[in-house]
Amino acid sequence: MKHKSFFIASENETVGEVAFRNIRADIIRGKLKPGQKLKLEKLKADYGVAVPTLREILSRLAAEEFVVAEGQRGFEVTSVSEAGLRDIAALRLLLETHALRQSIATGDLQWEARVVSSHYMLKVVETKLIDGDISQVEQWVQQDWEFHHATISACASPAMMAAHSTAFDRFLRYHMLVLDFRGKPAADEHAQLRDLVIARDAEAAIKLLTSHVESGLNHVLGTGKIPA
Amino acid sequence: MKHKSFFIASENETVGEVAFRNIRADIIRGKLKPGQKLKLEKLKADYGVAVPTLREILSRLAAEEFVVAEGQRGFEVTSVSEAGLRDIAALRLLLETHALRQSIATGDLQWEARVVSSHYMLKVVETKLIDGDISQVEQWVQQDWEFHHATISACASPAMMAAHSTAFDRFLRYHMLVLDFRGKPAADEHAQLRDLVIARDAEAAIKLLTSHVESGLNHVLGTGKIPA
DNA sequence: TTACAATATATTATCCAAAATATAAGGCAA
DNA sequence: TTGCCTTATATTTTGGATAATATATTGTAA
């Protein structure tokens, strides 16, 4: 408590935790490219943490399927493919539709408020993007995440939420790799989803969500940037 | 990617990998008790690996929710509760029914053979257990795992299979904690499930699986060994 | 020229020790 | 006595160094 370490204690977080988030974000954002070998010495220089700490971080990411650990040959960023995208999209949809149905059935007023407020913030970013301000893409990804999570946040199932979170992030990674916003149709779908959720129309909401995810899937594949 | 279950030990694998499986198995088997603090020095002595390697292992287990990392206060075994069991049972059921439907729709002859053969092995163990040979409980857990995985092994969705694997293992942990075999009813359900799967009756199979999991859930809770 | 083997290099897996931090215990003042 | 501050201990977190392993390279024989 005498002299707090300059890097750590100011935020009460360990340097390992910070590096973990940075590396994870760099994979999702595509700065660390699919299939790329993750050499420990290089990472050590880039993120400023020691080798054992890096191994700890990469092991956690491997459990989330963001990196693969190849036996005794080190780590590399998980590669992407059309099949991989379809796979993860299906998983996301399965978890999200289930959680959405539960949320609509049991959500309270606070939950509705979360949905409304997160959609409001999402819409602001979407409007900017539609107007051509491409700098907001990362902000949009963040708000998209917040909104979808808000809609299922009343499902009262921590395990389901946790599984959905990592599935969603892996799905998002594909969007970040092609870095192409779908525009007004996606924004309209979000608004409709918000209304259906508030109206407690579970079946219509699920139907919309399904086509929403599938449209996103096709949009990403349509850019031709994802290998077969 | 193979989904090995938790007892298998291979020879030219890293010491870290072996220790990982041992610790994971000890948590599932209840040797490391829910809520127990995992002191690094103690683990170091028990499993014969150094501290940084242990941190790597515990981090991976934390990603699977078998242990929790409490800020800067080390690790402890994830505690159990009735709500936790219901939660994880629901997740298992959601993933398994979905994968089962897909498998039944697209499975080939080899898949049917896997189902039949794994059920045969399961039945042998179940018969011994029903006859009172309690020493076979761990073997039963292993075969139960193999059988259920065989039924969904044709779903062609790696992400779904991976998610199901960890959910299933967490569900299994509760069974191991109460260490009480449900007996003939469970064995009968397995046999029926095998027949329905081979007959490609998806809806009936899913209905049976659902009641199978729910019966297991109630059986575990009925022992009174799981805190509220 | 090609295939194989042996060496050399690069990279990883592991361990030990030091620094930082939290927890417990003890002493002092109110 | 009780509460709080200080000191001491236990535990965790991190960095650096060493041993083990895989990959690349080179040379030699068929």
Domain annotation covers residue A42? yes
Q: Are residues A199 and A92 in the same domain?
A: yes
The pLDDT value recorded for residue B222 is 94
Q: How confident is the model at residue A2 (pLDDT cuts 50, 70, 90)?
A: very low
The pLDDT value recorded for residue A134 is 79
Domain annotation covers residue B7? no
The pLDDT value recorded for residue A168 is 96
The pLDDT value recorded for residue B32 is 92
Q: Which residues contact B59 (CB under 8 A, 6 or more apart)?
A: A56, A57, A59, A60, B69
Q: How confident is the model at residue A9 (pLDDT cuts 50, 70, 90)?
A: very low
Residue of A nearest to B160 (CA): A91
Identify the residue with better confidence: A70 or A90: A90
Q: Are residues B89 and B156 in the same domain?
A: yes
Q: Are residues B58 and B86 in the same domain?
A: no
Q: How confident is the model at residue B16 (pLDDT cuts 50, 70, 90)?
A: confident
Segment B6-25 mean pLDDT: 71
SS3 A76: strand
What are the two backbone dihedrals, phi and then psi, of residue B29, each rounded to the nearest 5 degrees? Answer: -80, -5
SS3 A131: coil
Q: Are residues B99 and B24 in the same domain?
A: no
Q: Are residues B72 and B134 in the same domain?
A: no
Do B165 and B157 touch, CB atoms closer than 8 A?
A: no
The pLDDT value recorded for residue B12 is 57
Q: How far apart are CA A218 and CA A210, in angstroms?
A: 12
What are the two backbone dihedrals, phi and then psi, of residue B90, each rounded to the nearest 5 degrees? Answer: -65, -40
Q: What is the pLDDT of residues B114-139, one digit of tens each?
A: 999 999 999 999 999 888 887 788 88
Residue % of chain B over a pLDDT of 90: 69
The pLDDT value recorded for residue A138 is 81
The pLDDT value recorded for residue B73 is 84
Q: How far apart are CA B132 and CA B38, in angstroms?
A: 35
Domain annotation covers residue A1? no
Look up tokens 């990392």; give the residue.
B69
- Return the amino acid letter for B11: E
The two tokens of residue A211 are 């086509």
Residue B145 CA to D13 C1' — how many Å?
Answer: 37
- Check which CATH number belongs to the domain holding A27 and give it: 1.10.10.10
Question: How far is Cα of residue A225 from the mean position of the Cα atoms in its chain?
Answer: 19
Q: Do B63 and A60 touch (CB under 8 A)?
A: yes
Q: Do A167 and B159 touch (CB under 8 A)?
A: yes
Q: How confident is the model at residue A6 (pLDDT cuts 50, 70, 90)?
A: very low
Domain annotation covers residue B2? no
Residue % of chain A over a pLDDT of 70: 95
Q: How far is A163 from chain B (nearest CA, A)?
A: 8
Q: Are residues A94 and A45 in the same domain?
A: no
Residue A1 CA to C27 C1' — how many Å?
Answer: 20
Beta-bridge mates of residue A76: A37, A68
DSSP states of A82-124: HHHHHHHHHHHHHHHHHHHHHHHHH--HHHHHHHHHHHHHHHH
Query: A12-26, B55-69, B82-96: lowest mean pLDDT where?
Result: A12-26
The pLDDT value recorded for residue B133 is 84
Chain D footprint positions (protein CB, under 7 Å): 11-17, 21-23
The pLDDT value recorded for residue B3 is 31
Segment A191-206 mean pLDDT: 97
Q: Are residues B148 and B217 in the same domain?
A: yes
Domain final position from A35, A62, A77: A77
The pLDDT value recorded for residue A8 is 34
The pLDDT value recorded for residue A191 is 97
Q: How confident is the model at residue A24 (pLDDT cuts 50, 70, 90)?
A: very high
Residue B1 CA to D30 C1' — how many Å?
Answer: 40
Residue B8 pLDDT greater than 50, yes or no: no
Do A132 and B38 touch, CB atoms closer than 8 A?
A: no
The pLDDT value recorded for residue A180 is 79
Q: How far apart are CA B77 and CA A218, in angstroms?
A: 42
Domain final position from B44, B61, B77: B77
Residue of B nearest to A58 (CA): B56
SS3 B218: helix
Q: How far apart are CA A184 and CA A190, in angstroms?
A: 10
| Residues within a 7 A CB radius of strand D | A 8, 14-17, 48-53, 72-73; B 12, 37-41, 51-52, 55, 69, 71-75
The domain total for chain A is 2
User: A24-28, A88-92, B67-71 — which one is most confidently predicted on average?
Assistant: A88-92
Residue of B nearest to A59 (CA): B60
The pLDDT value recorded for residue A228 is 86
Segment A59-83 mean pLDDT: 90
What are the two backbone dihedrals, phi and then psi, of residue B86, each rounded to the nearest 5 degrees? Answer: -60, -40
Look up tokens 């499902």; give the residue.
A155
The pLDDT value recorded for residue A219 is 94
Q: Do A62 and B60 touch (CB under 8 A)?
A: yes
Identify the residue with better confidence: A203 or B73: A203
Within 7 Å: CB of B15 and strand C? Answer: yes
In eight-state DSSP terms, residue B152 is: T
Considering only the beta carbons, identify the residue of A60, A64, A98 that sits closest to B94.
A98
The two tokens of residue A90 are 């299906």
Q: Are residues A102 and A205 in the same domain?
A: yes
Domain annotation covers residue A166? yes
Domain final position from A47, A77, A107: A77
Q: E strands along chain A, which residues?
A: 37-38, 67-69, 75-77
Q: Are residues A70 and A87 in the same domain?
A: no
In eight-state DSSP terms, residue A78 is: P
Q: What is the pLDDT of residues B161-202, one digit of tens each?
A: 999 999 999 999 999 888 777 888 999 999 999 999 999 999
Across the beta sheet with B67-69, the strand order is B37-38, B75-77, B67-69
Q: How far apart are CA A62 and CA A175, in angstroms?
A: 20
Distances (CA, A) of A159 to A70, A153, B28, B204, B206: 28, 12, 17, 27, 21
Q: Are residues A52 and A148 in the same domain?
A: no
Domain that holds residue A70: 15-77
Alpha helices in A131-157 (DSSP H): 137-152
Q: Do B160 and A65 touch (CB under 8 A)?
A: no
- Top residue of B94, B97, B170 to mutate, by most chain A CBs within 10 Å, is B94
Q: Are residues A109 and A60 in the same domain?
A: no
Domain annotation covers residue A115? yes
Q: What is the dihedral of CA B195, B201, B203, B207, to 10 degrees?
A: -10
Q: Are residues A170 and A216 in the same domain?
A: yes
CA quadruple A94, B152, B200, B184: dihedral sign? negative
The pLDDT value recorded for residue A179 is 78
Domain annotation covers residue A8? no
Domain annotation covers residue B143? yes
Residue B221 pLDDT greater than 90, yes or no: yes
Alpha helices in B33-157 (DSSP H): 40-47, 51-63, 82-106, 109-130, 137-151
- Check which CATH number belongs to the domain holding A108 and give it: 1.20.120.530
The pLDDT value recorded for residue A12 is 60
